[in-house]
Structure 1
Amino acid sequence: MSFGLLTYETTNLGDEVQSIAAQRFLPRVDALLQRDALQREPDGAGPVHAILNGWYLGPPMQWPPHPRIRPLLLSMHFSTRRSRRRIWRAPPAARMLTPQGRAWLTANGPVGARDLATFELLQRHRIPSWHSGCLTLTLPASSAVRDDVVVACDLPPRHVEALRRRTASRVVCVTHHDAVTTGHAQRMATAQALLDLYARARAVVTTRLHCTLPCLAFGTPVLFVPVDPDRRRQQPGFDLAHVAMPAAFLSGRFDFDLKTPPPNPENWRPLARQLAERCRDFILSASRPPPVQELAR
């Protein structure tokens, strides 16, 4: 049997963060699967088992995936928003939920929805589904010694200035936007370096969902400052983490003491346990030898 891992052609390192979470459960990686081109036949021969977590789908692509891909469908987000640059194109969810697409999801389900909006969308189409949360919640808790730094991930300049006024710790500014690093291995290494920084930080303040959720898993106090207007996609951050709206952060009207950062809420833990259990069961099932009748074919 073979195992596949999602790879990407985007500038968002949050995609690689999600693949880092998935790779932890794989015994090895035999094939890289381009998330936005899953209709392509994977390298090698025979079935390729893969965890298909993430945000679907951006560029024009065919759906469903190639029949050799044997998926575990969880932590999926289906976007219902039209492209601003290509307003004539149907939104991604509509392109995935054609009769053929719905049949494939039903046959390979139940589908784990990363957010409640995706779960409700799947339920309306009568596709077996459950609210899984995001796989990055299963990243291992950090035992690293904390550095006296507060990480600002993709905070707007005015918010960074406000942050510096409210903490005596050194503020380190980072971004998940990377249009320079190329190649799967290099981008995975860059994303891992960011995760290592978050795991050692005194606290993190971020606009990014896939900075917020890993920090919950690491036990790093995190404050989510949502600037993206798509609240449906960002729902896990609102539900699971400390939140300060952008204007409230600037004015100081939020309940998160940067001098003594509070512990994170704990309501993400049941999601993480169920995700880990599903992934382990999937890999265990995929690793079993095929039945004798299949070997005889």
Structure 2
Amino acid sequence: MKYKLLSIKGQGGVNIGDYIQALASSQFLPQIDGFIDREKLKDYNGEECKLIMNGWYMHNAQQWPPSSKIIPFYVAVHFNSTVKDKLLSDESIAYLKKYEPIGCRDTNTVKLLQSKGINAYFSGCMTLTLGRNYHSEIKENKYYFVDPYFVTHWNLYTILYNAIYLLFHWKPICIIAKKHPDPKTGFRKKMIMTTFYREYKRFFRKEILINAEYTNQQSIEYIRKFPTDEELLKEAERLVKCYAKAKLVVTSRIHCALPCLGLGTPVIYTEDAHQSEASACRFGGLRELFNILKWDNGHLIKEFDGKTPLDDTSSWSNKTIWKELAERLATQCTRFCK
């Protein structure tokens, strides 16, 4: 039997979190015999293969349901609200019923499938299992800020406010602006990073913010640097190994935050309080797993216990309710891949 992984490349670049999901699935495969593009599932005409179907579905709904040459295991799937009608046609419902029960990454997908008479349950995300192969007992004194959420709505007041704040905090903001991967440059970038600094400084000491590593998980640069699926999977593995050794990760990416739970790395999830329905529908059942900083009307709001601002002496721990989900996922995937 052949075993393959899902790959996902978009015109706007790569979300390396999709390959972190693939990495989680790869832990259970006896071997990796290639990749199948998530947006071309119906077109697949290679050898019959087993495929763990965890992921976000999908941009190209015309490619659903998948090829009959794919033997699927439906676990940790999300059907987005933007394409739910196309993905739950009569043909699709009949197809999914053949592979019940369907494990869903979020409770919104559970409700959506159950409303169509499909046996579905909340499985959580495959990345919760990454501690199986990638947990590290060695922790470095490193802080990672991975796409931490913040936004500035520019008007005369915010321009003046940020300009004055920048003047009085020039050095630390310049250091952070140089590190942050935002492609903007010069004074404009410093003004943007002023918004980040003045709010996040309320919860993290200045020393943490200026010494942290800043990175992103979605960029066109991933395609330029890592043109093949194999290289992208390797880069995902490199990031996971970094997160495994981190002292703390702060991120708005669920496929950074969820892996950190599985790895046993302290993580704070940052979110937009006013995100779109298409974005919010991904989080049912997952949000409860995190310690959260919520961005609401230009300010961060803490939704967890504990003293802030955090410094190098602060002790930090995640919630533990994710562990049962991870154990069940590991058992199910091991059984499927035998």
What TM-score bracket applies, with the shorter chain setting the length?
0.7 to 0.9
The equivalent position to 2:240 in structure 1, one of 179, 195, 204, is: 195
Q: Is the 2:124–2:286 Cα contact (8 Å) retained in structure 1? A: no
Q: Following the alignment from structure 1 to structure 2, what is the Cα–Cα distance between the partners of residues 271 and 130?
A: 11
Tell me the equivalent position of 1:240.
289
Deviation at 1:143, TM superposition (A): 2.2
Which residue of the partner structure matches residue 214 of structure 1?
A: 259
User: Quick check: 1:224–1:237 contact (8 Å CA) kept in 2?
Assistant: no
Matched AA of 1:142 = H
Structure 2 residue aligned with 1:2: 2
Between the two proteins, the alignment pairs up a number of residues equal to 272
Task: Name stretches of at least 5 consecutive residues in structure 2 with no aligned partner.
Answer: 151-192
Equivalent residue for 1:174? 215
Q: Return the index of the structure with the highest Cα Rg.
A: 2
Give the deviation of 1:201 after TM superposition: 1.0
Cα 1:42–1:144 change in 2 (3 A) is farther
| Letter matched to residue 21 of structure 2 | Q
Computed over aligned residues only, the root mean square deviation of the Cα atoms, in angstroms, reads 2.0
Q: How much has 1:148 moved relative to structure 2?
A: 1.5
Is residue 38 from structure 1 mapped to residue 25 from structure 2 by the alignment? Answer: no
CA apart distance, 1:194: 1.6
Structure number with the higher helix fraction is 2
Q: Does 1:145 align with 2:138?
A: yes
Q: Give 1:248 deviation, angstroms.
A: 9.2
> Which of 261, 274, 281 is residue 328 of structure 2 equivalent to?
274
C-alpha distance in 2 between matches for 1:5 and 1:223: 29
Give the letter aligned to residue 172 of structure 1.
Answer: E
Q: 1:144 to 1:70 in 2, by over 3 A?
A: same
SS of 2:144 mapped into structure 1: strand
Output the CA distance in 2 between the equivalents of 1:42 and 1:111. 24
CA–CA distance in structure 2, aligned partners of residues 251 and 107 of structure 1: 45
Indicate yes or no: 2:104 matched with 1:113.
yes
Report the CA distance between 1:94 and its aligned residue: 1.2
The alignment's TM-score, normalised by the length of structure 2, stands at 0.75
Larger relative CO (CA 8 A, sep 6+): 1 or 2? 2
CA drift of 1:109 comes to 1.9
CA separation of 1:101 and 1:198: change in aligned 2, threshold 3 A = same
**Please, what TM-score do these two structures have when normalized by structure 1?**
0.85
Change in 2 beyond 3 A, CA 1:118/1:60: closer
Whole-angstrom CA distance in 2 between matches of 1:270 and 1:8:
28
1:233-274 deviation per Cα after TM superposition (whole angstroms, max 9, x unaligned): 123442101011114994564535422142100000111111
Q: Is the 8 A contact 1:152 1:160 kept in 2?
A: no
Structure 2 counterpart of 1:287: none
Counterpart position of 2:168: none
| 1:210 match: secondary structure | helix
Q: State the shift of 1:199 in Å.
A: 1.0
For residue 86 of structure 2, what is the aligned residue in structure 1? Answer: 95
